[in-house]
Amino acid sequence: MSPNAPPIYDSNGQLNFQEWNDAGMPYAYPFGSLKALSYSKTSLATAKLMLSYELLNGLQLSTSLGYNTSHNVGGGEMPISSQNPLTNPTGMMVVGTNDNQNWTIEPQLNYESVIGKGNLSVLLAASLQGTVTSGQSIQGLGYEDDNLLGSITLAPFTRLFDTYGQYKYAAVSGRVGYNWEKKYFINLSGRRDGSSRFGPGKRYGNFGALGAAWIASEEAWVKNALPSFMGFLKFRGSYGLTGSDGVGDYQYMSQWSNQPNYSPLYPYGGVTPLTSMHAVNPDYRWQVNKKLEFATEMGFFNDKITLMVAYYQNRCGNQLTSYPTPFYTGFGSVTANWPATIQNSGWEFSAASTVIAKSDFKWDLSLNGGTNKNILIDYPDLELSPYATEYVIGKSVNDRYYLHYIGIDPMTGQYAFEDRNGDGTVGVNSAAIPGKGEDDRYVVINSDPKFTGSLSNSFRYKSIALSFSLYYKNQMGLSAFYSGPPAGGFFNIPTEIYENRWQYPGQNAKYAALTTVNGSGSNSLVGSSDLYYTDASFLRLQNVAFSYTLSDKLLKNKELSFTVNAQNLWVLTKYKGIDPDTQNFGSMPTSKTITAGLNLTF
């Protein structure tokens, strides 16, 4: 269909900037990079040493030492010929190196002994790690002849960049475990972690955990009380604190540089400029994650069927994050501990069974699943925080409020929404706290999965094996048809929308009238309404695998096997659209993959 875009190359085989410029599309020509060059070369060396020595009976000292180093050389060239001649271009080249060194020392002292009727194990360990990264690169700019590209000394002017970072981590930890007659178990651990990513006085954090377990089925009186088919019963519980230092290096200190965000500050009046790289917060400290878990494990019919049910509760009240700040403070964010206390809790279960175990035929089945509930426990001064209009204490941080869709107005062909607060207009006020009647949003939708589960089966008959797994997810997701671009723009739309659009007054249509006005009328509110979301639950046949191995006798020490593997063969869902996980009309859904293989060993 005309008009056609001009050819990529002109009649001389050169990039065809000329014709694209003449066609009034100077910026649309995408082929300049065909003449550009870029390269990268990395060398790596890794060394690891493990030493272990039994000092005394039961007392073992071991140390692991590791060292990694990598060196990268990279660069690129942008010749004049790759750029639009209308811009008076000059050539550019860049060359640079990056080095990374990392070492670890991890000594350990292990002690095992029998005390009374129990086993004691004691572990003392330390860990030291260090990382240094550094890089330099040099840009040559202003070349007026492409033939000179490649020589940095011939560059009319140059620009230098460097990066540097150092990280150290040190920890001591101890763990004491004791079990009495393989019946009562207790585990106690403690650790002190230190990281150079925190400011002075904040570098160390103390963490620890306590765990206990009871194998009730080892207890004679319990054993007698249990039904005979239940051979194993265990209860366990644990509570622990772990730390996290996942932030950038040096964020606690003031840093002035003349290349913030890797873009240069140009000299001014001959003076080398300096500027602050980030907002400074010297007070952030180790993030503490608190984990509580209770579980029970059961075995039936000589462990032919095993069952595990667990309840977990994870809490974090000082997550390390890049916290948004008003730009008028100088920066849009600062590294800080987030004051929100957020809890994730839920149930997990798994069951496994060897349904049949004969010499010729075996069937294994396993089932597992889980739920998760997110809740904002506390947020001091929430109303003064950037999340004031988003979060509600006691609710999930992923809860969002939406307008309620009430249908298409048969007279105008526009989507209509409930005027919840009865003020005569339907609208969204992003500055208002939703759900309080200040605007019309009140329907709560949370796109977190409510439940996920999977079922796996594997069968083996002689040398034939077949396995498959099913995956289920219960969730709300974007509606494939209502979340796409509204009809009328320069986009494809599904025929579903086109054929069921509103066309004449009085029509009860599924989709609004077509329009060429961007963001017009009710289309602009669809994204703030529950019409945008739909049930996107699904059951997917995730994997099917089949294999057949020819018997040894036939082939004498040789082996021949045949396999077929298939992924994503089948989906059961009420979701209208291409895929309930992709939830988008325009992008590719999860692919269906089938592979077959023949394996011969001789």
Segment 50 to 109, residues that bind other proteins, using CB under 8 A:
55-56, 59, 84, 86-88, 90, 92, 107, 109
CB of 519 to other proteins, least distance (A): 10
Residue 175 is a binding residue for other proteins (CB under 8 A): no
Segment 122 to 141, residues that bind other proteins, using CB under 8 A:
122, 124, 126, 128, 134, 141
Instruction: Tally Cβ neighbours within 10 Å of residue 465.
Output: 17
**Which residue of 11, 49, 227, 266 would you call a contact of other proteins, by CB under 8 A?**
266
Question: Which of 346, 344, 292 lies closest to 319, judged by CA?
Answer: 344
Segment 1 to 40, residues that bind other proteins, using CB under 8 A:
21, 24, 26-27
**Which residue of 31, 67, 103, 111 would you call a contact of other proteins, by CB under 8 A?**
111
151 or 329: CB nearest other proteins = 329
Give the contact letters, 280-309, x = binds to other proteins (CB under 8 A), - = no.
xx----------------------------
Question: Which of 585, 383, 401, 390 lies closest to 493, judged by CA?
Answer: 585
Give the contact letters, 484-523, x = binds to other proteins (CB under 8 A), - = no.
----------------------------------------
Segment 365 to 394, residues that bind other proteins, using CB under 8 A:
383-386, 388-389
282 or 597: CB nearest other proteins = 282
Q: State whether residue 508 is helix, strand or coil.
A: coil
The whole-angstrom separation of Cα 229 and Cα 16 is 81
Site size with other proteins, rule: CB under 8 A: 87
**Inter-residue contact 260 to 277 (CB < 8 Å):** yes
The three-state DSSP-derived secondary structure of 168-179 is EEEEEEEEEEEE
The whole-angstrom separation of Cα 553 and Cα 200 is 71
Segment 182 to 221, residues that bind other proteins, using CB under 8 A:
192, 194-196, 203-204
Segment 414 to 453, residues that bind other proteins, using CB under 8 A:
430-431
The piece of 214-222, 255-263, 307-315, 346-354 that touches other proteins (CB under 8 A) is 255-263
The piece of 165-173, 234-242, 396-404, 452-460 that touches other proteins (CB under 8 A) is 165-173
**Which residue of 163, 206, 463, 595 would you call a contact of other proteins, by CB under 8 A?**
163
Give the CA radius of gyration of the chain. Answer: 32
Instruction: Tally Cβ neighbours within 10 Å of residue 386.
Output: 12
**Which residue of 30, 330, 505, 586 would you call a contact of other proteins, by CB under 8 A?**
330
Return the H-helix or E-strand segment holding 225: helix 220-225
The whole-angstrom separation of Cα 76 and Cα 94 is 5
The piece of 39-47, 252-260, 311-319, 582-590 that touches other proteins (CB under 8 A) is 252-260
Segment 454 to 473, residues that bind other proteins, using CB under 8 A:
none
Residue 407 is a binding residue for other proteins (CB under 8 A): no
Residue 277 is a binding residue for other proteins (CB under 8 A): yes
CB of 178 to other proteins, least distance (A): 15
- Locate the DSSP E strands across 282-340: 287-300, 305-316, 320-324, 333-337
The piece of 167-175, 237-245, 392-400, 503-511 that touches other proteins (CB under 8 A) is 167-175
Residue 168 is a binding residue for other proteins (CB under 8 A): yes
In the block, tokens 């620009």 appear at 159
Question: Which of 165, 186, 151 lies closest to 277, judged by CA?
Answer: 165
Residue 267 is a binding residue for other proteins (CB under 8 A): yes
Q: Compute φ and ψ for 32, nearest 5 degrees.
A: -55, -35
User: Residue 401 corresponds to which tokens in the numbers above?
Assistant: 């409020």
Q: Which residues of 347-371 are buried (b: 16+ CB within 10 A; e: fewer)?
A: ebbbbbbbeeeeeeeebbbbbeebe
CB of 345 to other proteins, least distance (A): 29
Question: Which of 532, 542, 518 lies closest to 585, judged by CA?
Answer: 532
Residue 548 is a binding residue for other proteins (CB under 8 A): no
The whole-angstrom separation of Cα 426 and Cα 322 is 35
CB-neighbour burial class of residue 468 (10 A; exposed 0-12, middle 13-18, buried 19+): middle
